[in-house]
Amino acid sequence: MEIFLDTADVAEIRRAAQASLIDGVTTNPSLMAKVAGDGDPRDLFVEICEVVKGPVSAEVVAIDTDGMVAEGRRLAELHPHIVVKVPLTEDGLKACRTLRNAEIDVNVTLCFSVAQALLAAKAGATYISPFVGRLDDIGHDGMELVAEIREVYDEYGIETRILAASLRHPRHVKEAMLLGADCATLPPAVLYKLMQHPLTDSGLQRFLDDWKKLDKEL
Ligand code: G3P
């Protein structure tokens, strides 16, 4: 499963990329607004693309097809790593088809049902982003959606990649892996929690304590 970092914070992206922990980045308008400040958001996208050697999702903010296509084309011209992110609306799906016909990769976002995921695939989506945590927030089982999409895509031989999104904790990530999501996008805090285990820490301490008794250098 590929791991993407769900942030527009370049320092966080650099830290994870330098450790080879991530395969790409996803952003959304809320994440961009947190860090873009007075700068040009397009410069920020380019900076992110130069740090990470993989796909970088950049979301349109127009809500009509023509506007999304125009923004998507401009975003795609910024850097070869850009994947244009469009919302799962009728206009968004039409924009997806047009952009895919122009060989631009598209991530269809804000997916909350398996039927939506099928329609995104028909529109040629490169990635579909089911929002797990936001379904959990309203009392649904968000991970069940990932399982349903996997089943339907496999049943019909659909190649759209399942990008599990809105993941809030390590258990979400584990479940996404076990269900066969192609990719998962994680906030930085969740990424670093994945590598922590108390038995790793206590085991390391015991090794170091025992080594001290030898009083030797390596
Ligand atoms: O990738 C989508 C993600 O940014 C949404 O996460 O936590 O705002 O639901 P969240």
> Where on the phi/psi map is residue 20: left (φ > 0), alpha (ψ -120 to 50), or beta?
left
| CB of 25 closer than 6 angstroms to any ligand 1 atom | no
Domains contained in the chain, number: 1
Reduce the secondary structure of the chain to three states and give it as a string: CEEEEECCCHHHHHHHHHCCCCCEEECCHHHHHHHCCCCCHHHHHHHHHHHCCCCEEEECCCCCHHHHHHHHHHHHHHCCCEEEEEECCHHHHHHHHHHHHCCCCEEEEEECCHHHHHHHHHCCCCEEEEEHHHHHHCCCCHHHHHHHHHHHHHHCCCCCEEEEECCCCHHHHHHHHHHCCCEEEECHHHHHHHCCCHHHHHHHHHHHHHHHHHCCCC
Residue nearest to atom 8 of ligand 1 (CA): 166
| CB of 133 closer than 6 angstroms to any ligand 1 atom | yes
Q: What is the pLDDT of residues 100-153, one digit of tens each?
A: 999 999 999 999 999 999 999 999 999 999 999 999 999 999 999 999 999 999
User: Which residue type is seen at 131?
Assistant: F
Looking at the DSSP bridge assignments, the partners of residue 82 are: 56
User: How many whole angstroms from 7 Cα to the centroid of ligand 1?
Assistant: 9
pLDDT above 90: residue 173:
yes
Q: How would residue 73 be classed by pLDDT, with cut points 50, 70 and 90?
A: very high
| CB of 28 closer than 6 angstroms to any ligand 1 atom | yes
Residue nearest to atom 3 of ligand 1 (CA): 166
pLDDT above 90: residue 38:
no
pLDDT above 90: residue 37:
no
Q: Which of 34, 53, 85, 122 is catalytic?
A: 85
Amino acid 84: pLDDT: 98
**Among the ranges given (89-98, 165-174, 209-218), the one the predictor scored with the smallest mean pLDDT:** 209-218
User: How many whole angstroms from 25 Cα to the centroid of ligand 1?
Assistant: 13
User: How many whole angstroms from 207 Cα to the centroid of ligand 1?
Assistant: 40
Amino acid 93: pLDDT: 98
Atom of ligand 1 at shortest range from CA of 28:
4
Q: By C-alpha distance, which of 81, 71, 27, 30 is closest to 51? A: 81
Amino acid 36: pLDDT: 85
Atom of ligand 1 at shortest range from CA of 185:
1
Which structural domain range is residue 151 located in?
Answer: 2-214
Instruction: Clarify whether 85 is annotated catalytic.
Output: yes
Which CATH number belongs to the domain containing residue 27 in this structure? Answer: 3.20.20.70
| CB of 166 closer than 6 angstroms to any ligand 1 atom | yes
| % of the chain residues with pLDDT over 90 | 98
Amino acid 152: pLDDT: 98
**Integer Cα distance of 207 and 218 in angstroms:** 14
User: How many whole angstroms from 164 Cα to the centroid of ligand 1?
Assistant: 10
